[in-house]
Chain A
Amino acid sequence: MTIGIKVSPSGKDVKTATNKELILNSELGTIKFLKWGTNTISVNASSNATVTISHDAGFFPIPLIYSELTPGSGRWYAKPFNYISTEDTYIDGNLDNTYANTSNLVFKVINNTGSSKTVSCYYYVIGETGK
């Protein structure tokens, strides 16, 4: 007999609920944050800055980065890995500069404007294998 745990939502029979309906199923992985938090990067005019966040997962995790490309705009991009004409900075989409390896999450912020920028980011390092 397989031993495990299933948790269904209120009103759903745990014995008949589908995987899509279950809140937890010990046969399936879940999205847990190994590391998360904010980061503020100062980038000089017409320059770039590389951010390195240590996670020490020991495997290639799944990263998520949200960034406020224009300081104070209130717009937090989830996929800012390309230049967006309405924003004045962006995160480099070159995989040599923006990546996760077994110990770090690395990304480069490029500032193409003539003034320095302070870019805010919120990152998640998800504790499941991404590679």
Chain B
Amino acid sequence: MKTGIKVTKATKDISSTDIRDFILHSEYPMFKIHEVSSGSITINAGESSGTTTINHSLGYVPAFLVYENNSLFPSNIDCYATNTGITITNRLNEPYNQTTYDYNDWLYYYAGGLPDAGIITGNLFGSNYDSFVRFVGININQGQIITSANFEFTNVRTTTGSDIKFRTYGIDEDNTADYGGDPSGRPLTSTYNQKTQSPNSNYFNFSDNWTNQFQEIVDRPGWSNGNAMGFKFQQDGTTDNHIMYFDKGSSNYNLTLKVTLPGSLTTNYKIVIFKDKIHS
């Protein structure tokens, strides 16, 4: 004779064959709670993921549940158990508090003409080459403190044999107009970066930290949210016939500015760890 124990819900018949009618049935095990823990993940501005691990002492891989803000296993997290802990990773689609702006206008300039080449800066046939980039719709309030503004120019290269020396400035204007004319007279920020790019004939991604120039522009009393902002590459001592350039006729390049504001995102978790083993 098979022995066991069954307890039904109130009003349900003990002879029921529906598992849902029982609160206890010795043929159907139930989770046994080992512990209920809490955890949190903080993702700083500019980062897109964070991880926390809650240790357990079970010595095997247990079943578990993870809640974030009362949601069980929400779609933004993945979580796993090992024989020592539960690890939760929160992944954001975009870096927190960071906006990426694609360039709106790019122009290189040198006194005397505009040859059809993607020269960023340098010196060619005795002429100095500068260039300008412009971003529009900058969603920053006047005077707002930023954490960083990082510029990237993808798929550039240089001539060989000598460094490319230049400065990177901001255009010291409230709302920089496009570069339809000669922009060489545009006022420049007092802050700039002194750059030395070593020769590299292979394609690489040039990056530069423009935080100070960016902050100087948004600190202008006349700056308004949504305005356009410009920057300049200015040749500064490169010897003749050495340039940094890109394939202007192709589409394999891009100029972006990633602006990060201060702050962080903290999410809290409730973790239910069961005694029930899913793996040794």
Q: Taking beta carbons and an 8 Å cutoff, which residues of A are in contact with B?
A: 2-5, 24-34, 36, 57, 59, 64, 66, 68, 74-80, 82, 84, 120, 122, 124, 127-129
Contacts and interface: CB of A to CB of B under 8 A. Distances in A.
Nearest to A35: B28
A66 B79 contact: no
B78 A77 contact: yes
Contacts, number: 90
Contact of A34 (B8, B28, B31, B63): B28
Contacts of A25: 23
Interface string B112-128: 00000000000000000
A78 B20 contact: no
B80 A59 contact: no
B77 A79 contact: yes
Nearest to B49: A85
B111 interface: no
A128 B7 contact: no
Nearest to A25: B23
Contacts of B265: none
Interface string B31-55: 1000000000000000000000000
Contacts of B29: 32-33, 36
3 shortest interchain CB distances as A-B pairs: A127-B19, A122-B278, A32-B28
Nearest to B28: A32
Contacts of B78: 77, 79-80, 82, 84
Nearest to B7: A5
A30 B23 contact: yes
B248 interface: no
Contact of B279 (A5, A32, A78, A122): A122
A77 B79 contact: yes
Contact of A76 (B24, B77, B82): B82
Nearest to B25: A32
B9 A57 contact: no
